Structure 1
Amino acid sequence: MTDVRRAAERYPGGDAAAGIASRHAFSFGPHYDPGNLRFGAMIACNEERLAPGAGFDEHPHSHTEIVTWVVEGELTHRDSTGRETRVRAGDVQRLSAAGGVRHVERNDAGTPLVFVQTWLAPRVPGGDPAYEIVRGIADATPYAVPEAGAMLHVRRLAAGERTAVPDGAFRYVHVVRGEVRLGEEVLGPGDAARLTGAADLEAVAVGAAELLVWEMA
């Protein structure tokens, strides 16, 4: 089954006065939808836009694998383990909240920041927080999140280029930029497809495109 969710269907959030615009793919905060709580291990896929100087003040997380993909700009990350990093376009950042961690996410640069953040439910709750960043991940290099039984595939496609969608119990295809054809559907920026059961699927770039493809057990 292919369940397409358009960018315009995302739940709006954030704080416009504070320079934060959020778009949520799943039930989130005050936007409670009991029929849209999760897909496989995925419990959130948020598109965030932060104006220069804007950000999320220190807040807690627990029992969540948080994977961040910067589309443009630079994200400053600080957490309660004493770590501070700058995450740039092309980097994959993962924060394993485990038994509990607090962090800050800000745009300390002078240009707008856009990022996609995915939250995954771990197979086993608890444990100690962990952090990882992969700088400039290469196209088609899979990034594993074994704690959640998930794998991320980043694909950057030229016009007309094809990429296989991995088989799996749950697949989630998010279009970062450009347009792709997936079966009979054309997906644009911010659109996503939730796939179950189907096999031997390909995504074909209509023009230059960038995709995040999640494969989940």
Structure 2
Amino acid sequence: MLHIWREADRYRGGDAAAGIETRHAFSFSGFYDPSNTRFGLLVACNEERLAPGAGFAEHPHADVEIVSWVVEGELTHEDSTGRRAVIRPGDVQRLSAGRGIRHVERNAGSEPLRFVQMWLVPGVFGGDAEYEVVRGIADGTPYGLARADAVMHVRRLGPGERMAIPDAPWVYVHVVRGGLRIGEESLAPGDAARITDAERLEAAGEAAGTEVLIWEMHAEPSYG
């Protein structure tokens, strides 16, 4: 089953006065729709836009896998372990919150920042927090989460170039830039496809410089 969630249907949030604009794909923060709380292990897919100097003050996380993908600009991360990193386009940032960690995310640069942040439920709760940055991830590279039965694939396509969609119970396809066609559906930047029981499906690029993030998930959250 294929369901398209359009960019225009995302919940708008953030704080315009503080230079923060957020577009939520799922129920998040002050937006709650009981029919749209998750897909597979994915519970958040937020498009964040931060003006220079804007950011999220220190806040806590626990028992969640947070993966960030920068579209443009630079994302500065600082956390309660004393760690500091700057994430740029093409880098993958992962924060496994474990039993708990606090962090700050901000745009310390002089240009606008836009990034996609995705939250997934881990298969095992607790444990120490972990942090990782993979620099300049290549096209087609799978990025697996050790604490969740999920793999993210980064794909870059030209017009007419085809790719296989992973066979999995839950597949989430997010278009970062360009355009993508799945069957009879055309997806633009910010659009997403939620696919259940994917099998032998293909997609094709519809514009130059198409960039897509694909989550392949083989489990649902277990809280007990």
Give the TM-score normalised by the residue count of structure 1.
Answer: 0.99
Shift of 1:207: 0.9
Q: How many residues align?
A: 217
- How far apart, in 2, do the equivalents of 1:160 and 1:10 lie? 28
Alignment correspondent of 1:5? 5
- Deviations for 1:40-99, whole angstroms, at most 9, x for unmatched residues? 110000000000000001000111000000000000000011100000000000000010
Runs of 4+, deviation exceeding 3 Å:
none
Residue identity opposite 1:90 in structure 2: G
Shift of 1:203: 1.2
Counterparts of 1:58-207 in structure 2, within 5 Å, are: 58-207=58-207
Alignment correspondent of 1:39? 39
Shift of 1:33: 0.8
Aligned 8 A contact 2:2 2:194 in 1: yes
- How far apart, in 1, do the equivalents of 2:191 and 2:88 lie? 22
- Deviations for 1:173-216, whole angstroms, at most 9, x for unmatched residues? 00000111011100000000000023111110111210000000
What are structure 2's unaligned runs of at least 5 residues? 219-224
Secondary structure of 2:36 counterpart = coil
Shift of 1:158: 1.1
- How far apart, in 1, do the equivalents of 2:9 and 2:186 lie? 16
Secondary structure of 2:147 counterpart = helix
- Of all paired residues, the percent bearing the same amino acid is 65
Aligned 8 A contact 2:176 2:212 in 1: yes
Q: After the TM superposition, which of the residue ranges 67-76 and 195-204 deviates more from structure 2?
A: 195-204
- How far apart, in 1, do the equivalents of 2:37 and 2:45 lie? 11
Residue identity opposite 2:45 in structure 1: C
Residue identity opposite 1:92 in structure 2: V
- Deviations for 1:136-160, whole angstroms, at most 9, x for unmatched residues? 0011010001211100000011111
Q: CA RMSD in A?
A: 0.6
1:216 aligns with 2:224: no
- How far apart, in 2, do the equivalents of 1:60 and 1:183 lie? 41
Give the TM-score normalised by the residue count of structure 2.
Answer: 0.96
- Deviations for 1:158-179, whole angstroms, at most 9, x for unmatched residues? 1111111100010000000011
